Structure 1
Amino acid sequence: MTDNKKLEAYIPYRRSDIIELCLKDGKLSREDTQTFKEFCQILSAFYHFRFHKTLEIIKENYAVFNPNTDVEPLEEPNLDQYNQMQSKVVEAFNHILERANYVRLSKSIVDKALGQKSLINLQTHVDFNDFDQFLCYYRGDTTTTTKIKKLFFWEEEKTIEMFERVVLLIKFKGKGYFRRKESNSKALDELKFTPGKMYAYFYKNIPKFDIDLLFPNIKTSMTWKDRLLFGVPAVGAAIPLILRTLPNILLLIAAILLVFNARDLIQTLNVEQDQLQDIMPVLVATLSLAIALGGFAFKQYNNYKSKKIQFQKDVTDTLFFKNLANNDSVFQRLIDIAEEEECKEIILVYYHLLTSPNPLNPEQLDAKIENWMQEKLGIGINFDINGPLNNMQEIRGKIEDNANEPEVPLLSYNQQGYCHVIPLKQARIVIDWVWDNAFQYNGKAL
């Protein structure tokens, strides 16, 4: 069960659902209903084109960092080009996550996760010095109640802080750094990532204090509790073994002392001289001791390996079914989300300004939209009013296709600071003009 969701700017409904909700509100005439649909359709097409340009920038610059790429560049970029390409990818990444209404996760939260556990009881270590770049965003800071198996049939109910979505971008340092860090070349070959590459991950429903498990350079080990549970039985099993093999151990020690002619010390061990003169008991004692201790060591090693495999399985089960996308596919998913969010925000702002009987300033408009969403859908959101207002001011076009006709924005402010939008038919024309003039060659719109 998930509850106690903190208010965020993300709108958890499809763009088509928001449009339909506005139409069912009953404040538009039949003629305006059709015009509003057309306005939303052109607006969506415009933003799809706009974000497609961002995606092309990412594809062009991410190719050299993509660990899964199957194409080769005609020319390798030089150092300056390499750094510029990295900056463009990071800038675009931040841009689309902010437009998608995701929240930047501070490194302090990640550091805190390294010291606490939610569902998987592991000791973890992440070396942040391995990273050239590290960015993390989340959406949906919630709490959920789950049952955790403790002993046999006993289950404990536990409340866990959860992120509904987590996006991670990591750029690893180059091979030179890891050659200096790792003690041998074999360790470099065993890395679970490629030095110098940029990794992107998109996950769902990740416990806040298990977020450290998302890092590809994570190192896991048993907690002190697991070490005690593993070590105490091992010590308990070793004591009877030592007691059973003690005569053989004493005989072996006495044989070694005989080689060094330490007869006085041999007498203190209470080992009969006849046993030492006959080599067979010594060999049998040595073989028996080796088999007993070797078998015990092998059993304990197998127990340790089984425990380690169980840890790895817990991590794999946690992440495998929660992975939404990796690397270049992450950017495509986020572009779709950002495009949807931008359109939903503008549609809500334009609709409420269009249908409001009274002028509204940004604060009043923000409260009106939040109350409307609560009333219509029963959800609380912290609507981002500044983003859509700025976007609507930037969308400028002509109402009349005349060279002398000035361009007008979708939204403007009067002297009292109240928001004003142009009428619906004119808004549709402006968006259509912007769409038609997206490309211009030889002065002609395409």
Structure 2
Amino acid sequence: MPSYKNREAFIPFSRNDIIQLCLQDGQLSAKDAEKFNNFCQILSAYYHFRFHQTLEVIKENYVPFNPSTHIQPLVPPTLDQYNEMEARVVEAFNHILERANYIPLSEASVQEALANKSLIDLKTEVDFNDFDQFLCYYQGDFSKTITVKKLVFWKEQRTIEVFERIVILIKFKEPAYFLSQKVEIDKLKFIPGKMYVYFYKDVPQLDIDLLFPNVTTHMTWKDRLLFGVPAIGAAIPLVLKALPNLLLLIAAILLVLNATELIAALNIKPEQLRNVMPILVATLSFAMTLGGFAFKQYTTYKNKKIKFQKDVTDTLFFKNLANNDSAFGRLIDMAEEEECKEIILVYYHLLTSKKPLNSEQLDSCIETWMENKFGTTINFDINGPLSNLKEIHGKVMSNRGEISLLQCDSEGFCHVLSLDDAMEVLDYVWDNAFRYNGIDL
């Protein structure tokens, strides 16, 4: 079993489980429990609507960059429009990953992970100069013990770090860049100018290079030494032994070719050729041995490459969760889920608290409640849901102006509206989601 570290701000339970546990907590009367359940359902529908707007922005602007699309724009975007559309997609990507409680992984951190020795003994390289955009986020990491084969009968236990979820966005440079590098575009494994989004699970940090479509493999220094040093070592005595008898070797070859006139021109006696045959046999034997060893080392290297390609295939097939436009849809669903869970937890604990709570006390209260109820430790993100509750405002019967679901007093204590008033605010928000009657409310 993997040993998990703290799960950051991510809440590893469904929204429905959170709601049900609040209802079963015994802090609400039967009447208020029904109201709270309705409040959660309406709130979830509201956030579904809000994130649907984000999805529409992505769908509208991702078309020119989507390598999987079969849809073509009616009018190709201008250069300025193209750059603006790219910026909107990147901004939306950052927005939904942050809302889903994913943690950004810098390019420097990724390159550091790539620099470490992979689980496969091959040298891999990823050229970040190929990218116009590179963004990486992860969620959850755990330690895992694996068995690595070292020699025929020797296996080694290793502890590796694994990303539980990892998302990568790559925007490749335009075709002109690759043409300037004298690259054959038809042989690339990606389409220049397109934006790729990859969503994977359970990827070892040492194998993050498997996720890049422009990864290349080379011999390690160990492979090169095993390939070159024995070859040079075997070649030196061979050459030293052959040099004094080079003329005899040439004559022996000419004898095999029945070139008697050339042999006579070299002024070599027949008995000398009889003595050179063992040298020729030894030379051929050395050459065959050397060639066989070199072939064995090259075959070992090729087998490593085949294993690497198999691991790439297994990762792409078994660990892939979504790609490109489908990845955006799935990530938005996760962001929506996280936002709702956080807001529900904040509203519930402020609603049922016997005493006023400031943001720090509320954060600690929720983390303790989660540990007691679920047996898991999280680092709850208190600022996000507090800000979201403040942003949801509307009119209620008891107040002429608009009022927010959450307010903070001068002493920093947080207060939420009662269930009845909160339902009225949400109802007002829904009624005014679209304003087609021209009336300024």
Same-fold call, TM > 0.5?
A: yes
Pick from 344, 347, 359: which aligns with 2:356?
A: 359
Is 1:421 equivalent to 2:421 in the alignment? no
Preserved CA contact (<8 Å) 2:248 2:273: no
Other-structure match for 1:221: 218
Q: Aligned partners of 2:366, 2:142: CA distance in 1, in Å?
A: 23
> SS in structure 2 opposite 1:141?
strand
- What is the CA–CA distance in structure 1 between the aligned matches of 2:182 and 2:189, rounded to whole Å? 14
Alignment of 1:239-318 (within 5 A): 253-254=250-251, 263=266, 271-272=272-273, 296=292, 304-318=301-315
Q: How do 1:57-76 residues align onto structure 2 when only pairs under 5 Å count?
A: 57-76=57-76
Aligned residues of 1:118 and 1:207 also touching (Cα < 8 A): no
Q: 2:163 maps to which residue?
A: 163
Q: Which residue of 1 aligns with 2:425?
A: 430
Cα 1:428–1:121, aligned 2, differ >3 Å: closer, same or farther?
farther
- Offset of residue 378 of structure 1: 0.9
Residue deviations 1:421-440 (CA, integer Å, cap 9, x gap): 00011111211221222112
The match for 2:50 is 50
1:333 aligns with 2:330: yes
Q: The residue matched to 1:201 in structure 2 has which SS?
A: strand
Judged with a 3 Å threshold, the aligned counterparts in structure 2 of structure 1 residues 306 and 210 are, in CA distance, closer, same or farther, namely: closer
TM alignment of 1:29-178, pairs within 5 A: 29-178=29-178
Tell me by how many angstroms 1:208 deviates. Answer: 1.6
* Distance in 2, Cα, partners of 1:180 & 1:260: 55
One-letter amino acid of the counterpart of residue 62, structure 1: Y
**Alpha-carbon offset, residue 236 of structure 1:** 9.2
For residues 191-238 of structure 1, the C-alpha deviation after alignment (integer angstroms, 9 at most, x for no partner) is 000000000000111112221221111111232334445567878999
CA shift in 2, pair 1:241/1:320, >3 Å: farther
How many residue pairs are counted as aligned between the two chains?
Answer: 428
Q: Report the Cα offset of residue 390 of structure 1.
A: 0.4
SS at match of 1:405: strand
The worse-fitting range, judged by mean Cα deviation, of 384-393 and 111-120 is: 111-120
Structure 1: which 5+ residue stretches go unaligned? 277-283
Structure 1 pair 301–225 and aligned structure 2 pair: CA distance change class (3 A): closer
Instruction: For residue 112 of structure 1, report the CA deviation from its aligned partner.
Output: 1.1
- 1:234–1:300 Cα contact (<8 Å) kept: no
Residue number in structure 1 paired with 2:344: 347
Contact conserved, 1:374 with 1:380, CA < 8 A, in 2?
yes
Q: Which whole-Å deviations, capped at 9, do the CAs of 1:285-334 have from their partners, x for residues lacking one?
A: 9xx99x96998587776555444223212332234311111111110010
1:183-202 counterparts in 2 under 5 A?
187-202=184-199
> Is 2:387 aligned against 1:386?
no
Q: Structure 1's 182 and 358: CA in aligned 2 closer, same or farther, altered over 3 A?
A: same
Q: Which letter does structure 2 place at the counterpart of 1:425?
A: D
Q: Secondary structure at the match of 1:440?
A: coil
Residue ranges of structure 2 left out of the alignment (5+ in a row):
none
State percent identity of aligned pairs: 63
Q: Deviations over 1:65-85 (max 9, x none)?
A: 000110111111010000000
TM-score when normalising by structure 1: 0.86
* Rounded Cα–Cα distance in structure 1 between residues aligned with 2:303 and 2:47: 53
1:427 partner letter: A
Pick which of 113-122 and 48-57 moved more.
113-122
Decide which moves more: 326-335 or 429-438.
429-438
Q: Normalization by structure 2: what TM-score?
A: 0.87
Q: Is the CA contact 1:112–1:209 (under 8 Å) kept in the aligned structure 2? A: no
Q: Which segment drifts farther, 145-154 or 61-70? A: 145-154
* Contact 1:140 1:164 (C-alpha < 8 Å) held by counterparts: yes
Q: How far, CA to CA, are the matches of 2:417 and 2:264 in structure 1?
A: 109
> In structure 1, the residue corresponding to 2:48 is in which secondary structure?
helix
Q: Which moved more, 1:43-52 or 1:296-305?
A: 296-305
Contact map agreement 1:250 1:271 (CA 8 A) in 2: no
Deviations 1:405-429 (CA, angstroms, capped at 9, x unpaired): 3111000011111001000111112
How far did 1:19 drift? 0.3
TM-fit CA distance, 1:361:
0.5
Question: What's the secondary structure of 2:401's corresponding residue?
Answer: coil
Task: Check whether the contact 2:217–2:305 (CA below 8 A) recurs between aligned residues.
Answer: no
